[in-house]
Amino acid sequence: MSAKSAADHDPALFYSGLVAELYEPLASEHAKADDYVCFLDAAGAPALELCCGSGLPLLELLARGYDVHGVDASSEMLARCHAEATRRGLDVTLFEQRMQDLDLPHRYRAIFLAGASFTLLTSDEDARRTLDAMAAHLEPGGRVLIPLEVPDPDLRSPITRETLGPDGATLRVRVMAMAIDPEARSHRSTLRLERVAADGTTETLERDWVRHWWTQAQFAAMLDEAGFADVHAVGADGHTAAPDAHFFVFVAHRPS
């Protein structure tokens, strides 16, 4: 397997280099601490954020007094999280593990993902392993929150997002091409990432981004199989998700 294809399929390698640098500035508006406080208040502490990356929204939750640990497969993203925690004077507990191999020395009242990173699992087997591991790491009565996305076939490339970095550089990610395979439930996007410095110096990287999806019925069934109870999906507005929603959030709990 080439280095590029390995990075395409392994989140630990995908979120490195220019991808790691651009992730936080481009994702910050979609990973706000306010979106998770109600869940954490209801579930209790301690909590664990899967795929915590560089610390969105983990570090802000810590700053607000929430007892939250983080786990991620990317050593580079975790290093960025540690550095930002140090800069902010926060004591953060982080673990480097793939979510399907989760094996931590703690049990939690809440386990959540901030965004649809669960779709980075490219097989149903890995998804089931992850749900089993989440259940095993929950205290009785503990809760999970898992955002998911189903690709919208009406979306057309190119799609561009752009922002300014802290040093004034222009940071840009463009979806150059997309391929949706309904039978395999896979979604492959070809991304072009760019960093244009103030002096015009440009760094560019192209990388494929491969995700796997589940319908609401399929994912609810997997949560049931993993032993979760009170399984339901809500939409972005907090109400029951529409059957044809492209974004929805599953919440469930481990029986007491």
First to last CA, the chain: 45
Lowest mean pLDDT among 44-48, 164-168, 203-207: 164-168
Give the pLDDT of residue 154. 76
109-163 per-position pLDDT tens digit: 999 999 899 999 989 999 999 999 999 999 999 999 999 999 987 776 667 888 8
Hey, where are the domains in the chain?
A: 31-150+213-253, 159-212
State the pLDDT confidence band at 5, using cuts at 50, 70 and 90: very low
H or E element in which residue 241 lies: none
* Average of per-residue pLDDT across 76-93: 96
Instruction: Name the architecture of domain 31-150+213-253.
Output: 3-Layer(aba) Sandwich (3.40)
Packing angle, helices 75-88 and 18-27, rounded to 10: 50
User: With 70 as the cut, is the pLDDT of residue 25 above it?
Assistant: no
Q: Quick one: tokens of 54? A: 């560089």
What integer pLDDT is reported at residue 3 of this predicted model? 41
Q: Tell me what pLDDT residue 2 has.
A: 40
> Does position 165 have pLDDT exceeding 90, yes or no?
no
On the question of pLDDT at 7 being above 50, the answer is: no
Question: How open is the CA angle 185-180-111, to the nearest 5 degrees?
Answer: 50
Query: Which pLDDT tens digit goes with each residue over 210-239?
Result: 999 999 999 999 999 999 999 999 998 889
Concatenated DSSP letters of 46-66: -EEEET-TTTTTHHHHHHTT-
Residue 26 has pLDDT above 70, yes or no: no
Query: What would the DSSP string read from start to end of 154-203?
Result: T--S-EEEEEE-TTS-EEEEEEEEEEEETTTTEEEEEEEEEEE-TTS-EE
Q: Indicate if the pLDDT at residue 177 is higher than 90.
A: no
Fold of 159-212: N-terminal domain of TfIIb (2.20.25)
Neighbour tally for 214: CB within 10 Å: 19
What is the torsional sign of CA 247, 73, 61, 174? negative
Torsion-angle region of 227 (φ positive above 0: left; ψ -120 to 50: alpha; else: beta): left
Strands (E) located in the chain: 47-50, 68-72, 94-96, 108-113, 138-149, 159-164, 170-181, 186-196, 202-212, 229-234, 247-253
The highest-confidence range among 53-57, 82-86, 153-157, 186-190, by mean pLDDT, is 82-86
